[in-house]
Amino acid sequence: MTKPWGPQEEAREIRSPEVGKVLFGTKYLIVAKLGRGGMGEVFEVVKPPQIMGVLKRLAPEMAKFPKAKELFLTEVRALAELDHPHIVRVQDFDTDGFGVPFMVMERLTGRNVADLIEKRGRVEPDEAYEITRQLLDALHVAHTHDTPVVHRDIKPENIFLHQPRHGEPVLKLIDFGLVAEA
């Protein structure tokens, strides 16, 4: 006898979200897949009424490991506490219909320093100074916070040059995936 297929059966099989569909058990519509790493997946999302963000979700194959969930939650906690103009801001945190934790961060526009270097071949001295100044400001806040946070993965790909609609470009430190609370 064949069992009917329903939400209970679907929830047992953890899957990656599909572009154009709502993340199971949430209100977040997946607009685009932005990337995937060893611990997580990153998507551009929208939540009605047109609230844009970037959703980082623990990878489905990692969701069954309590230690992986603990590391992910450490990143969320650390980022949520670091309210600073040069650190990406967390807007939401929850678990999806599969029980997989995710966080939604502010949606940034622009490019990372690695893309800048690849396109131009170099960074001009005055621009390098400003990038370094803003990066050090972010790291100082993280390291001197009530619960100090060490990023542990500083690289050009994780230094984002955000161009807001109004105002000057601003550096945002992203991807605290290997974060450690000191």
pLDDT tens figures, 56-85: 999 988 888 999 898 888 888 888 888 899
Residue 182 — very low, low, confident or very high, per pLDDT cuts 50/70/90?
low
Q: How far apart are alpha carbons 29 and 158 in whole angstroms?
A: 25
Percent of the chain residues past pLDDT 90, beyond the cut: 58
Which residues are known to be catalytic? Answer: 153
Residue 21 has pLDDT above 70, yes or no: yes
Residues in a beta bridge with 90:
105
Read off the pLDDT of each residue in 86-95 and give the average, rounded to a whole number. 94
Q: How far apart are alpha carbons 59 and 68 in whole angstroms?
A: 9
User: For position 178, what pLDDT does the model report?
Assistant: 55
Residues in a beta bridge with 55:
43, 104
User: For position 12, what pLDDT does the model report?
Assistant: 56
110 Rama class: left (phi>0) / alpha (psi -120 to 50) / beta: left
Residues 6+ apart with CB under 8 A from 10: 24, 97
User: For position 149, what pLDDT does the model report?
Assistant: 82
Helical H segments across 65-159, by residue range = 66-81, 113-120, 125-143
Read off the pLDDT of each residue in 97-102 and give the average, rounded to a whole number. 93
Identity of the residue numbered 147? T
Residue 102 — very low, low, confident or very high, per pLDDT cuts 50/70/90?
very high
The tokens for 169 are 């470009």
Q: How far apart are alpha carbons 101 and 80 in whole angstroms?
A: 14
Residue 115 has pLDDT above 60, yes or no: yes
* Residue 89 phi, psi dihedral angles, 5° rounding: -95, 135
Contacts by residues 122-130 (CB-CB < 8 Å, ≥ 24 positions apart) = 130/171
User: For position 95, what pLDDT does the model report?
Assistant: 93
C-alpha neighbours within 13 Å on the C-beta side of residue 49 = 0
